[in-house]
């Protein structure tokens, strides 16, 4: 039964990295498509659209961070795997869900917002900052989810 | 998925920044010669051409290039092709007329077109209608039959024009494209009002009106025909009770003003796409905007070469998208 607890905790870490990573990949890909469209017409706008393309990439990093912290906490990285009960394992799994789910959806949503921002940059390059701010607003929710995940990971009693 | 258009929309947004703005048009309106207009166009990153005819040809080529670009970029160009249905049907009309009059159709063609314009005269002459797009086959056959049987160019034009409008509406409905449905309906309404007004002036028969008027959810075909048969006054007073009262007022005073109203209404429709970050709308809107820009330049060039007054030119200028 104890190994099932560890399995749930590892599955949680996998979910955090996997879903947040998918969200980022989709978001960055979408902005990349939009950015390529602009650069094909006006290559001088490359640096401006690149900033927008980077924005949805953070969710993937948050997922990676959560997964590493979790693996470190349960001893997969370092001192050796901890002997987790099923309840503890489920708690670790639940701790990973905020960043996994919010990371997935916010990555895609931020990608859409940033791709729309690419349109602003294309038409009015001087208004580029506004496009970045609007896309960055989505980031708030990924950060909140990351915060909840980290707080939970560090406050589960072993 | 609308995000399929992310790349195309972003490219279009970049190209929109090179569309002519009001101040460019004002400078060209104030210009004293074609050469001056050409200089202004060069300052707006256009190619340097100072001859009137070459300038018009260069503008046509520009629209052709814009179409190729949009066509290549659009993931679903079937929807976008609705914008060229009228050009395609016009080219069919030109081919049929040239065939009957034994002249060269190529100088009458409108570009861009999705048809193979080099092969079109041969296709029509040899009645290979199955080579044409599906939406044109039946019309081509019918129009050829009418023209060869009756030599009635007006009736043939009416059949082809109505078929073009029907094809646009049918395809837009089939593809469930809201923007294209609105575009097709607006184009149909403008064409129908003009046809109904002219027919009522010329006291055309009911059967001719049946052939010429397409109808749309905006303006019912039977009502238009009924009012047109009563005469121009009845038609105009009926139109005044619809949402096209402004158009009714203009068509009775000046057909040029009515045409400008129709073009401005199209640009107003295109402006809705400014709020869209994804989808086909910005692409279609850019094409409409470019088409209108070229129409404005053509009016400017022709008016300047005829010595038309600045006030008249300003009056004829279409609304700008930017």
**B29-81 pLDDT tens trace:** 988 888 888 888 888 877 767 677 788 888 888 899 999 999 988 888 889 99
Q: What is the pLDDT of residues B185-199, one digit of tens each?
A: 999 999 999 999 999
Is A52 in CB contact (< 8 Å) with chain B? Answer: no
State residue B1's pLDDT score: 53
Are A67 and A92 within 8 A, CB to CB?
A: no
Peptide bond into B112 cis (omega under 30): yes
User: Using a CB-CB distance cutoff of 8 angstroms, which residues of chain A are in contact with residue B68?
Assistant: none
Model confidence at B182: pLDDT above 70: yes
Tokens of A65: 């961070």
Identify the CA nearest to B162 among candidates B231, B267, B92, B106.
B92
Residue B112 lies in a domain: no
DSSP 8-class letter at A79: T
Q: Please name the member of A30, A40, A120 whose beta carbon is closest to the beta carbon of B3.
A: A30
The reply to whether residue B277 touches residue A41, judged by beta carbons under 8 angstroms, is: no
State residue B36's pLDDT score: 86
- Overall residue count recorded for chain B in this entry: 322
Identify the CA nearest to A51 among candidates A123, A154, A135, A126.
A135
Residue B154 lies in a domain: no
Selected residues 17-36 of chain B with any CB under 8 Å from a CB in chain A: 17
The reply to whether residue A42 touches residue B10, judged by beta carbons under 8 angstroms, is: no
In chain B, pLDDT over 90 holds for what percent of residues? 66
User: Using a CB-CB distance cutoff of 8 angstroms, which residues of chain A are in contact with residue B16?
Assistant: 122-123
Please, what is the average pLDDT of chain B? 91
State residue A2's pLDDT score: 64
User: Using a CB-CB distance cutoff of 8 angstroms, which residues of chain B are in contact with residue A56?
Assistant: none
Count up the domains in chain B and report the number: 1
Non-local CB neighbours of A113 within 8 Å, separated by 6+ positions: A134, A135, A137, A138
Model confidence at B307: pLDDT above 60: yes
Are A16 and A63 within 8 A, CB to CB?
A: yes
Residue B57 has φ and ψ, to the nearest 5°, of -60, -40
State residue B2's pLDDT score: 66
> What gap in Å lies between CA B142 and CA B145, rounded to an integer?
5
Are B311 and B29 within 8 A, CB to CB?
A: no
The reply to whether residue B13 touches residue A123, judged by beta carbons under 8 angstroms, is: yes
State residue B234's pLDDT score: 94
Per-residue confidence of chain A (158 residues) as pLDDT tens digits? 468 999 999 999 999 999 999 999 999 999 999 999 899 888 999 999 999 999 999 999 999 999 999 999 999 888 788 889 999 999 999 999 999 999 999 999 999 999 999 999 998 899 999 999 999 999 999 999 999 999 999 999 88
Q: Which long-range contacts (CB under 8 A, 24 or more apart) does B151-155 make?
A: B151/B100, B153/B97, B155/B208, B155/B211
Domain ranges in chain A?
2-155
Non-local CB neighbours of A9 within 8 Å, separated by 6+ positions: A70, A74, A84, A88, A89, A92, A93
State residue B308's pLDDT score: 87
Residue B52 lies in a domain: yes
User: Using a CB-CB distance cutoff of 8 angstroms, which residues of chain B are in contact with residue A41?
Assistant: 11, 14-15
Classify domain A2-155 at the CATH class level: mainly alpha
Tokens of B35: 């050469």
User: Using a CB-CB distance cutoff of 8 angstroms, which residues of chain A are in contact with residue B10?
Assistant: 33-38, 115, 118-119, 122
Is A42 in CB contact (< 8 Å) with chain B? Answer: yes
The rounded radius of gyration (Å) of the Cα atoms in chain A is: 18
When scoring B1, B3, B14 by the number of chain A Cβ atoms within 10 A, the one with the most, hence best to mutate, is B14
The reply to whether residue B277 touches residue A36, judged by beta carbons under 8 angstroms, is: no
Model confidence at B226: pLDDT above 80: yes
State residue B278's pLDDT score: 87
Is B105 in CB contact (< 8 Å) with chain A? Answer: no
Å from A142 to nearest chain B CA?
A: 22
Are B147 and B96 within 8 A, CB to CB?
A: yes
Specify the CATH number for the domain of residue B71: 1.10.132
Is B174 in CB contact (< 8 Å) with chain A? Answer: no
- For B8, the domain range is 1-76+280-322
Are A52 and A133 within 8 A, CB to CB?
A: no
Are B59 and B155 within 8 A, CB to CB?
A: no
User: Using a CB-CB distance cutoff of 8 angstroms, which residues of chain A are in contact with residue B321?
Assistant: none
ipTM of the complex: 0.77
């Amino acid at each position: 039964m104890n190994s099932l607890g560890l399995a749930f905790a590892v599955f949680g870490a996998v979910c955090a990295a996997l879903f947040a990573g998918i969200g980022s990949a989709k978001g960055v890909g979408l902005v990349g498509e939009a950015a390529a469209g602009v650069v094909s017409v006006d290559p001088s706008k490359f640096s401006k659209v690149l900033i927008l393309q980077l924005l949805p990439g953070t969710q993937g990093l948050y997922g990676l961070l959560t997964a590493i912290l979790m693996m470190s906490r349960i001893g997969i990285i370092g001192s050796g795997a901890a002997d987790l009960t099923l309840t503890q394992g489920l708690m670790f799994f639940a701790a990973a869900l905020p960043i996994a789910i919010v990371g997935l959806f916010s990555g895609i949503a931020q990608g859409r917002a940033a791709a729309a921002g690419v349109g602003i940059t294309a038409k009015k390059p001087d208004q580029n900052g506004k496009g970045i701010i609007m896309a960055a607003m989505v980031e708030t929710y990924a950060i909140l989810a990351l915060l909840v995940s980290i707080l939970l990971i560090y406050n589960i009693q072993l | 998925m609308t995000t399929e258009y992310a790349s195309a929309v972003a490219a279009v947004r970049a190209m929109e920044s090179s569309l002519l703005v009001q101040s460019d048009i004002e400078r060209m309106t104030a210009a004293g010669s074609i050469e001056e207009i050409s200089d202004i166009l060069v300052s707006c990153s256009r190619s340097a051409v100072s001859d009137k005819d070459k300038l018009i040809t260069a503008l046509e080529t520009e629209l052709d290039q814009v179409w190729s670009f949009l066509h290549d970029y659009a993931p679903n160009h079937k929807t976008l092709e609705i914008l060229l249905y009228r050009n395609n049907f016009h080219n069919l009309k030109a081919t049929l007329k040239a065939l009957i009059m034994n002249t060269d159709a190529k100088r009458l063609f409108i570009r861009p077109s999705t048809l193979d314009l080099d092969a079109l005269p041969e296709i029509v002459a040899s009645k290979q209608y199955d080579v044409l797009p599906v939406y044109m086959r039946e019309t081509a056959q019918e129009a050829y039959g009418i023209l060869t049987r009756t030599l009635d160019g007006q009736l043939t034009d009416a059949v082809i024009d109505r078929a073009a409008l029907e094809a646009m509406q049918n395809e837009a409905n089939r593809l469930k494209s809201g923007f294209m449905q609105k575009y097709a309906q607006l184009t149909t309404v403008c064409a129908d009002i003009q046809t109904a007004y002219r027919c009522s002036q010329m006291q055309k028969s009911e059967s001719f009106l049946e052939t010429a008027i397409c109808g749309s959810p905006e303006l019912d075909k039977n009502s238009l025909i009924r009012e047109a048969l009563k005469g121009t006054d009845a038609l105009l007073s009926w139109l005044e009770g619809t949402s096209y009262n402004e158009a009714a007022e203009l068509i009775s005073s000046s057909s040029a003003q009515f045409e400008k109203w129709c073009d401005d209404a199209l640009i107003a429709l295109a402006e809705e796409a400014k709020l869209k970050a994804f989808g086909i709308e910005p692409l279609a809107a850019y094409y409409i905007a470019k088409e209108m820009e070229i129409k404005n330049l053509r009016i400017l060039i022709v008016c300047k070469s005829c010595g038309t007054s600045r006030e008249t030119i300003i009056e004829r200028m279409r609304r700008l998208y930017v």
